[in-house]
Amino acid sequence: MNAVQADLEILAGYRQPPFFFDDRQREFLNHTLAETAEFFQFSSALVTELAAWDSECQATMNIDEPQDAGFSSDAAYQARLRKGAALAVRIKNEATNIGRVGYQTDSEFERGADAL
């Protein structure tokens, strides 16, 4: 168990790791899901859901026509935001060595909170 407590920012961007935190071993920077899961001791079920959530976003990238990247509809995009918020709440509730959890929608979640 990692006793170091850290704040976590969840980001959504193309071709970059979706987690940003200070692991106290190197610079405050983006971390892969594997690094983040190890640091915060995420459950395998949470890792699986986070991987699917990030993959969904990455799949919308159109490298040939970047301006055409994005979700098929606003409803699909909003659903992804809600799913990310629910995952942020799960992270806050499951990881004992986590301080604050920030999400790209400028939301923060307290332990025991509900999603958006």
- Structural domain for 64, as ranges: 6-108
pLDDT in tens, 13-57: 777 788 988 888 776 688 899 999 999 999 999 999 999 998 888
Q: Which of 2-16, 64-78, 92-106 has the lowest mean pLDDT?
A: 64-78
Q: In the numeric block, which tokens belong to residue 32?
A: 């892969």
Nearest to 82 by CA among 114, 60, 111: 114
State the total domains in the chain: 1
pLDDT given at position 77: 81
Ordered alpha helix ranges (H), 3-105: 33-40, 44-58, 74-94
Tell me if 45 is assigned to some domain: yes
Q: Where are any strands of DSSP class E within 5-59?
A: 6-10, 19-21, 29-31
Tell me if 115 is assigned to some domain: no
Average pLDDT, the chain: 82
- The answer, yes or no, to whether residue 61 has pLDDT greater than 60, is yes
